[in-house]
Every structure is written in structure tokens, then in C-alpha cells.
Amino acid sequence: PSHAQDDTRWHALAQDVKAQMAWSWDCYCDHAWGKDEIKPVSGTFSSFQLKTHHLGLSLIEALDTLWVMGLDSRFKDGVSWVKTHFDADVDGEVSVFETSIRLVGGLLSAHLACGDAVLLAKARDLADRLLPAFATPTGMPYRFINLRTGAPREAVTSPADIATYLPEWGTLSRLTGDPRYAAAARKAVIAVFERRSPLDLVATKIDVISGAWRSRTATIGSYCDSFFEYLWDSWQLFGDAECKRMYDVCTAAILKHQQVWKDRQLWFADVDFETGAVISTEQDELASFYGGLLGQGGALRQGAAYTESWAKVQARYGVLPEGYDYATSRPTQVTNALRPELADAAFTLWLIDRSPRWREIGRLHFEAMKRWNKAPYGYTDLADVTATPKRQADHCPGYWWSEQMKYYYLLFADTPRFDYSDNYLSTEGNILKGLRRNQA
Ligand SMILES: O=C1NC[C@H](CO)[C@@H](O)[C@@H]1O
Ligand SMILES: [Ca+2]
């Protein structure tokens, strides 16, 4: 088809994404308003971290997605809920990492979308409640903290939990003029990097008090994924050359020791971080974001290849299983957690080279979600992707509202509300640069 017809087809698909978002938001309003998560099969709700208390997680995660789609009345309803009901003064324990990428990031991107100072104030208040976790001898934060008392817990944690803050906390320091947030986030990153092995690899567990490693496994998957992502991102967002150098050192080591080509497909083995010996060939679905990061950092051939490896797994099972073993070509975990990573990688690669292949992977991901994850009151995760028919579970994770629906829309819509040539999205999909507020 001609370019004009082609774009019309993609823009029509973007309208479908927008309609699915509006419908899902309206279901959330009817059945889970102000709650953390909706249960889309039963029409009830669940809390993410605080047992009986809710922080409006899905609502906050949705805000910049609603705005970029032009769902302005729904955006305004969400912002007014935050201004009148969001309160982080809770005597309960949360993950420092999850709370930062989801809630601090969600409040910041909503603030950048509308300029409301209350949203920034609430993001800052939340960060102030997380900051005491970083008061350790190494500067690496405890894994958990009580939002009211500041009592920290769990000194054994991961590079991702330790070092996935600088884009959000650097933005917070820029907007408030308070350097403490960026300083704490950056010190933690350097503390991980300077403890890397002689092979320039890091492992999945480390003690933040002693600085001693508590694992030997180097992986690009969970526990390490966003440590690497945020090294590059801090260069992209702030021009932090030290972070780019650290990214280059870590990536060279991964490409040297973990890169595996099998049947002309690219995979990344988990290896011993000091010897390089292969430990596991099982891939987390979470690792499927990595092709986008490799592309951003200059390894576009490997980035495209790894994304294609995952696209073939998606083509085989319809939607991605949580775990897949490239040695046996079998799923190792048959659930589907309604995760965004393959759409994340496709969107990231599309921003780099505009190849229609990446839009196509995004389309297939969206169509598969509509076919198998759609439930009476929204989109749900699945219990078994290998069953016929696929069995649904009953949970819509907060990241769904912030991530894949936004990536699909930005991939297909060519919206004037987003600067496609100069932007930054966080690991949770929060737009921290590139929102164009003075547009239609
Ligand atoms: O970095 C992340 N990891 C897990 C979630 C998505 O699967 C989400 O919270 C985020 O993208
Ligand atoms: Ca992510």
C-alpha cells in the first residue's frame, strides 16, 4: 500500500488501542476506583504491596498514558483523585524499587503532562519516605522500607533493586532543586559497578552492608535487567558520560561471555560471574526488553536478532510464557503475566530505525492480547499459555496501564503529543522527556 494508506491503517489501529484503554479505565472506575489493581475476571480488586491499604497504583500508572492518548477527561479525573486521596503516610512496608519506578515515576510523568505542582509534591514526599533506605555503609539501599516509620529491612538484594532510580530521582532533583535524590541514586549505581567481577560481570544478589556478593549468577534477566538499562538511560536523559562508560563496560562483558547463537537465533546464557561458565539456558520473559537496549547502545544487529528470537516464541505460543529454555525450545513457566517487554523492545527499536517490522511485532502483540487476555472487566494475566483454550488467571498488573498500551499507541498513532525524535521513557514506561503539552 502507499505510505498514506499504510499510515491510515496504523492510525486506525491506534484508535483501537485508545478505545481499549478507555474501556479498561471505565471498568476500573466502576469496580476498583482508587484501588491498586483490578481483577478483570471477577470484577473485584487486589492491593499490590500493603495488604488492606491501597495507593491507587493502577490509576497513577495510567495517567501519562491517558494524557498521551488524548483521554483528557479521564486524565483529569485521575489527577483529582491523586490530589484529594493519595496519601503515602502508611504504616506498611514496600519495595523501594517497585514504589520508585511505579509511583514516584507515575506521579512525575503525570506532573510533566499537566504541570500540577501537587503531583510533584506528592512524588517528592514519596521519595523522602524511600530515601532512608539508602543510609548504608555502601550507599546501596535496603530492599524494603516502612513508609511511615522509615524502618528498612532486607540487606540482601539485587543490582536492579539497588540501581534503578537515577532517571526518576535525577528528574526529581532537577524539578525541586534538591540534589539529595540524584546523589543517593547515583552513589548506589557506582557502588554496584565498582564491585563487578574481573570479567566485568555482576551477579543477582549482594549484601548492601558488607558489599559481599551472595550469588554467582550473571544474567540479563530479573534482578539485573534494569541495572544495565539505567546506565544507558542516565546517559540518554542527562548526558551522564560516566554512566555511559559503565554501560559500555558491562555490555562488552555480556556480549563476550553470555552471547549464544543457536540455529541462527541469538540468546543470552546465565553464566558464573567470575568464570563465565554457563549456569542456565532458561530465559526470563523479562529479558526480552534487552534487544531494545542493545539497539540504543549501538549493538543494533544483536538487538534486532534477540528481539526476533522472542518474536518467534510469541508466534509459537500466541503470547509469551514467563520462562523459556532455548536449549530445549520449551517453556519453563507456562503462565503469562501480561508483561510489556517485547512491545517495549519493538517500540524502542522502531524509534531508532523506523523499520515496519517493529510496528508489526507491536501489532501482533496487541492483537494477541485482545484475543487471549481480554476479560469481562479489563485485561488479565493467564494461568497457562499452552492449554487449549488458554486459561486465564484474574489479575491486571499495574505496569499494564503504564507500558504496553502506551507503547502500542505511540507505535501506531504518530501523535503530536509526543516528540518522537527527542524523548525518554523509564523502565516502567513513564515519559520523563518528550511530552508536548501545547499540542492538540
Ligand atoms: O522493569 C520492570 N519490570 C517488571 C515489570 C514489567 O514486566 C515492570 O514493573 C517494569 O517494566
Ligand atoms: Ca522495564
Q: What pLDDT digit, counting tens, does each position of 4-48 carry?
A: 778 999 999 999 999 999 999 999 999 999 999 999 999 999 999
Please write the tens of the pLDDT for every residue from 150-159: 999 999 999 9
Cα separation of the two ends of the chain: 28
Please write the tens of the pLDDT for every residue from 391-418: 999 999 999 999 999 999 999 999 999 9
**How does residue 440 score in pLDDT terms, banded at 50, 70 and 90?**
low
What mean pLDDT value characterizes the chain? 97
Max CA distance (Å), the chain? 62
Report which ligand 1 atom has the smallest distance to the Cα of 429. 11
- 111, 119 in Cβ contact below 8 A? yes
3: CB partners within 8 A, 6+ apart:
none
Best probe residue, ligand 1, of 284, 427, 431 (max atoms within 8 Å of C-beta): 427
| C-alpha of residue 290 to centroid of ligand 2, in Å | 9
Please identify every residue whose CB atom is under 5 Å from ligand 2, which is an ion. Answer: 427
Please write the tens of the pLDDT for every residue from 200-244: 999 999 999 999 999 999 999 999 999 999 999 999 999 999 999
Please write the tens of the pLDDT for every residue from 283-316: 999 999 999 999 999 999 999 999 999 999 999 9
User: Rounded to 5 degrees, what are φ and ψ at 154?
Assistant: 75, 95
| C-alpha of residue 398 to centroid of ligand 1, in Å | 9
The CA distance from 3 to 7, in Å, is 6
**How does residue 52 score in pLDDT terms, banded at 50, 70 and 90?**
confident
Please write the tens of the pLDDT for every residue from 358-379: 999 999 999 999 999 999 999 9
Return the ∠ at Cα 131 (arms to 127 and 133), rounded to 5°. 135
SS3 content of the chain, % helix, strand, coil (to 5): 50, 15, 35
The CA distance from 394 to 43, in Å, is 9
200: CB partners within 8 A, 6+ apart:
249, 250, 252, 253
DSSP symbols for 145-193? EETTT--EE-SEE-HHHHH--HHHHHHHHHHH--THHHHHHHHHHHHHH
Name the residue with the closest Cα to ligand 1, atom 1: 427
SS3 category, 264: coil
Residue 194 has pLDDT above 60, yes or no: yes
Residue 328 has pLDDT above 60, yes or no: yes
- 210, 157 in Cβ contact below 8 A? no
Does the predicted TM-score (pTM) go above 0.90?
yes
Name the residue with the closest Cα to ligand 1, atom 4: 286
Q: Which residues line ligand 1 (CB under 6 A)?
A: 226, 286, 339-341, 399, 403, 427-428
Name the residue with the closest Cα to ligand 1, atom 10: 428
Residue 322 has pLDDT above 90, yes or no: yes
| C-alpha of residue 341 to centroid of ligand 2, in Å | 7
Q: Where do we find the cell 495517567?
A: 63
Question: Which ligand sits nearest to residue 340's alpha carbon?
Answer: 1
SS3 category, 382: strand
- Give the closest residue to 112 by CA, choosing from 166, 64, 169: 64
**Burial label, 332 (beta-carbon count in 10 A; 0-12, 13-18, 19+):** middle
- 72, 102 in Cβ contact below 8 A? no
| C-alpha of residue 338 to centroid of ligand 1, in Å | 10
- Model ipTM? 0.99
Report which ligand 1 atom has the smallest distance to the Cα of 160. 1
SS3 category, 379: strand
| C-alpha of residue 407 to centroid of ligand 2, in Å | 12
Neighbours of 294 (CB within 10 A): 28
pLDDT of residue 1: 56
Best probe residue, ligand 1, of 102, 228, 319, 339 (max atoms within 8 Å of C-beta): 339
SS3 category, 336: strand
User: What's the average model confidence in pLDDT over 175-187?
Assistant: 98
The CA distance from 409 to 55, in Å, is 26
Phi-psi region at 402: left, alpha or beta (left = phi > 0; alpha = psi -120 to 50): alpha
The CA distance from 83 to 76, in Å, is 11
Report which ligand 1 atom has the smallest distance to the Cα of 229. 1
pLDDT of residue 140: 99
